[in-house]
Amino acid sequence: MKSIIVTGCSSGIGAYCAEALKGDGWRVFATVRKREDLAALEARGLEALLMDYTDPGSIEALVATVFERTGGRLDALFNNGAYGQPGAVEDLPTDALRAQFETNLFGWHDLTRRVIPAMRAQGSGRIVQCSSILGIIPYRWRGAYTASKFALEGLSLTLRMELEGSGVQVSLIEPGPIESRFTANALTHIRQAIDLENSVHAQEYRRQLARLDGTGPVNRHKLGPDAVYKVLTHALTARRARPHYLVTKPARQGAFIKRWLPADLFYRLMRSLD
């Protein structure tokens, strides 16, 4: 039975993919940050473990536990746990930007480095990073999240090249809008970190808050997490996994337009989007 670590399994993409992988015959080690989220995963027959990307000790403990249970083997890692810190770049406290990178990049790097030696030793492995279309194209009011995903893209593609010939393959999944608690979590973070009322962008923030709290327009292109699982299975099982997997119509359109439009025209187009 092949084994995989899936992070960020309390809800959304992680929860769905962990359960679907188990149904497809994988041994799934599903991680969450909060102890109270363990029971729901265990009830579904998953091996649930605590891990927080901002806590190196918890990352070390996770890997040690997994290797103890598997005899030192691991077939795949799906880095997925992340959050989005909304807010205009000029309003963004540097500490909030650091926190975004701790969870969305540095913790992923730490966990990934800890499993690569085992994959190299066995001559095979898959590392799949759940990035975002915002790792390819920028979007207003999402500078911190965009920066973390741009960095993840560069780091992961470099790692993919460096692992060539080792039997370990690295892929990036780049979803657009997916049904999850992502926007609800973003609402919490914007209220905690951004001075919404005293910003020059106060009026824009009111519109942003409506989108995040569900009172604004509904994104008709939003898909369920099964759309991510469809490409995840390819990245995990194909003889030659792709470097990029775009998910949702907006993601594919955005990547296509960026490739073919002149840069200035493309960024003017992006500035016009809400």
Q: What is the pLDDT of residue 219?
A: 65
Give the whole-angstrom CA distance, residue 93 versus residue 193. 7
Q: What is the pLDDT of residue 208?
A: 85
Q: Which residue among the candidates 16, 83, 145, 245 is catalytic per the annotation?
A: 145
Q: Which residue has the tokens 């969870």?
A: 103
Q: What is the pLDDT of residue 169?
A: 98
Q: What is the pLDDT of residue 217?
A: 59
Please tell me the pTM assigned to this model: 0.95
Query: How big is the chain, counted in residues?
Result: 274
Residue 145 is a catalytic residue: yes
Q: What is the 8-class DSSP label of residue 182?
A: H
Q: Which residue has the tokens 């025209």?
A: 265
For residue range 173-220, what is the model confidence (pLDDT) as tens digits? 999 999 888 888 898 999 999 999 999 999 999 988 887 876 655 667
SS3 14: helix
Given a cut of 70, the residues of the chain with pLDDT beneath it are: 214-219, 274
- Upper half-sphere CA count for residue 91 (Cβ side, 13 Å): 22
